[in-house]
Chain A
Amino acid sequence: MAGQTIARREIVRLLGIASVAATFPGFRQWAFADEAAGGVAAGGAGAGAVGAYQPLFFSAEHYRLVDALAELILPEDDTAGARKAGVAEFIDFMVANRVPISGSGHSEPPRDSAMKMGSELQAQWIEGLQWLNARCQNDYGHAFLDCSAQQQNELLSALAYKEKFTKGTEAGREFFHLLRDYTVTGYYTSRVGLEALGWPGLRSHWDKPPGCPHTDDPEHLHLQRAS
């Protein structure tokens, strides 16, 4: 249990995980990457200061695929998309360091080594990306990135919507779940994403909580009628 850290640290050392973190070159998009440049705002404001991101885990080809998939899941529309939030960098870094982004915020946390779970996740990522490309080759004659926008959308829809599920896509659906979890986590833990969401905690001083502005209608039925 909690006291077994020394053994665990030993395992970690053997796995060489720590060395991955130690050689980490820094993010292009993340806030702390900009600290050296004077601590300017996050999320692209410092883009270019550190240079192009060098993937730690994915091949260049897979990295481009992850980046494209993330942008398809959370695209730029009236607010910034996954690319602007640096989601592909986030995914590469977390997968490389075997940090598990858990499958559900309401399931039990991992009882075994999170590191072990992180190692399994690395394999799932590679297999999942390979599955996507293989499926695209089979259905459309191209790798995912060479498919048309319509074909990409068709395939992802078949993995994302229950009513479009078919036999034979189980592995792809499982991977889509993983891909979406990482994408959502990467996006909504970035400044860009939290601004898009409107998280009020971005402000750290309030005289008092403003509280409910509708106290004349405690049940808030007028809001429901209005929406």
Chain B
Amino acid sequence: MSSAPAIGKARVFDAIVVGTGAGGGTAMKMLCEAGLKVLALNSGPRTQPATDYRMHRQVYDLKYRGYGDPTILAGRAHQEHYTVEESEYNEGPRLWEHDVAYTNSPGTDWYWKRCKGTGGKANFWGRSSCRYGDIDFKAASIDGAGVDWPVDYAEIAPWFSKAERYMGVASTVQNRPSNPDGEYLPPMTWRCYDYIVQKAAEKIGIPYLPDRCAQLTVAHNGHPACHYCGNCSQGCDAGSFFSPTWYTIPDAEKSENLSLVTDALVRSVLVDEHGHAKGVAYVDRNSHREVEVYAKVVVLAASCVETAHIMLNSRSTHWPTGLANSSGQLGKNLCDHLYGSPGYGFLPQLLGQPPAPDNIANSTVAWIPRWTNLANPHAEKFLRGYGLYIGGGCDEFPWHHFQLQGFGSSFKRDIKRYYPATVGALIQAPTLPSPHNYIDIDPAKRDIFGIPQLRFHFQWGPNELMMWEHSKQVMVELFKSAGGEMWTCDTDPNRPGTSLHETGVCRMGSDPKTSVTNKWAQTHDVPNLYICDASVFPGNNDKTTTMPIIAFAMRTCDYIIGNFKNGVHRRV
């Protein structure tokens, strides 16, 4: 691991990057490879695949069979549904944030999962990687809700290509206006139920297509092809899908321009007499000592809400309400993806079939991309649309036992008979920006490091709840069309935050009065402060966030590098 030997001598760096995940890792790589001297700060320890990842262990290798040590977070940490998070395979306070508290305002139930190991949640992500299109960037012009992005598809498309080429994304060319096509590796192989669901969806006018999945179906850029162990959500042992641990961090280190400091919890950005960024202050987790480090440019990529948290905690005479907050938009416009299962049942065609390796890719092999409000933006009662991921088949545990009666040999046979036949859906529905959904600083509470706590204010709005109800009806129709039977669905959506797809708290825009950054993710107020995470996204849509975070971070870094070349920023 690199260390920063010169820090004690108050060495000044060209750039400080806060966070080493999807955005921060990309920024480190880009800036280091351009020859800049970079100090990267990570809030937790170095992620070590050999000891922190699943590494082909089976559930029976775990002391608590995957239910986790009840003495960690009182057994709660890993009982959420979505698997891109802590589990007994990689549990505990080493990689996951168990110490820094946050607050939910009354009526808010935000679930804020933080991976503090280097690479962050992008070590364990779901890998769905669709390009955003103009239907997303210009959604406000189309239907009147929210604001347009300051960037359109033509402008960002080259960086989508750059991100896809670097990461390796498997999919097909689909010619759908709502989902621009990119540059793809061969797609994932479809399973029996994919074909059945595709036919059923076609009959009711719904698309069912290969997802865009950042998983290597063939070797790519020196990374080996996937070996399909299915461990992805608990960490890849081979680097066969994009993660900072296997991609950006080693690239940055190869440049020898990187100093990486771990266990450095950033508290605030420091400003000079002009109110410009001059460095950051962090708390060393081990000693609880506060340390100041300095640079010409500061890049925040602390994972969306944490980036805004740092800025809100960076108050000074220049920035009394938070750094670069002359617009008052800092912390506002918090958006999320509503998650939940709108339908779960089985396909009788597959009853009693031999067990099939349906989930060895652990991947969103196929999905139902947005199909609503395409030709007419007001065709439905709700605005825009959502996506559905379909999963099922032979999985690690036969959850369908809940649906079967009885006991004894007949019960055991039934569990096996239904095993290949189960199918369920996961909705991914974007929220619209709302004045009720934002973050601020809890005036009364500080975490154990003495840092004022972040406070969430968030409720699902009517638009996303209408999509949720709509999706349940769609699943009834889809099961009917497939000749299947729907057993059940979630009564309520999952807790806000479950998707890990929060966006918007430092939104980008052309007008400094209504946005925190310009279209380059450079703050309007502080020209040497940039943001490389989803906090700059002005809105959310039916697609996931990670690949666009990487593409926008690449574009921002190209801009920063240009600014060093043309003298806007001076090197040390």
The interface of chain A, by Cβ under 8 A from chain B, is: 1-6, 8-9, 11-12, 17-18, 21, 30-32, 42-43, 72-75, 77, 79, 90, 94, 97-102, 104-106, 108-110, 113-115, 118, 153, 156, 160-162, 180, 184-186, 188-191, 194, 196-206, 208-215, 218-221, 223-224, 227
Contact = CB atoms under 8 A, between A and B. Distances in A.
Interface of B: 56, 58-71, 73-77, 79-81, 93, 97-104, 112, 188-192, 194-196, 198-199, 217, 227-231, 341, 344, 347-361, 394-399, 401-402, 405-409, 411-412, 415-416, 419, 447-448, 453, 483, 488, 490, 492
Contacts of A209: 188-189, 191, 228, 357, 360-361
Given A109-B81, A219-B349, A5 B60 contact: no
Contacts of B69: 21
Contacts of B190: 211-212
Contacts of B483: 224
B101 A42 contact: no
21 contacts: A1-B104, A3-B100, A8-B74, A17-B71, A30-B60, A72-B408, A98-B70, A100-B75, A106-B490, A108-B492, A186-B65, A188-B398, A188-B401, A189-B65, A198-B416, A200-B358, A200-B360, A211-B190, A218-B198, A218-B199, A227-B352
Contacts of B66: 189
Contact of A197 (B79, B411, B415): B415
Contacts of A185: 65, 397
Nearest to B420: A198
Contacts of A223: 349-350, 353
Nearest to A79: B412
Nearest to A39: B61
Given A6-B448, A197-B416, A206-B227, A43 B60 contact: yes
Given A99-B64, A109-B81, A219-B196, A74 B74 contact: no
A186 B66 CA distance: 11
A67 B189 CA distance: 43
A212 to B, nearest CB: 4
B63 A32 contact: yes
Contact of A161 (B77, B405, B448, B453): B405
A72 B228 CA distance: 36
Contacts of A104: 402
A1 B74 CA distance: 11
Contacts of B490: 106
A175 B66 CA distance: 23
Contact of B191 (A98, A100, A212): A212
Nearest to A11: B74
Contact of B398 (A5, A18, A90, A197): A197
A180 B102 contact: no
A27 B399 CA distance: 25
Contacts of A200: 355-360, 394
A207 to B, nearest CB: 8
Contacts of B353: 223
Contact of B409 (A32, A77, A162): A77
A208 B341 contact: no
A197 B355 contact: yes
Contacts of B101: 1-4
A100 B361 CA distance: 29
Contacts of A188: 397-398, 401, 415
B67 A101 contact: yes
A73 B257 CA distance: 62
B228 A208 contact: yes
Contact of A162 (B231, B341, B405, B407): B405
B58 A191 contact: yes
A184 B401 contact: yes
A138 B196 CA distance: 52
Contacts of B102: 1-3
A5 B351 CA distance: 45
Nearest to B419: A197
Nearest to B402: A104
A156 B406 CA distance: 9
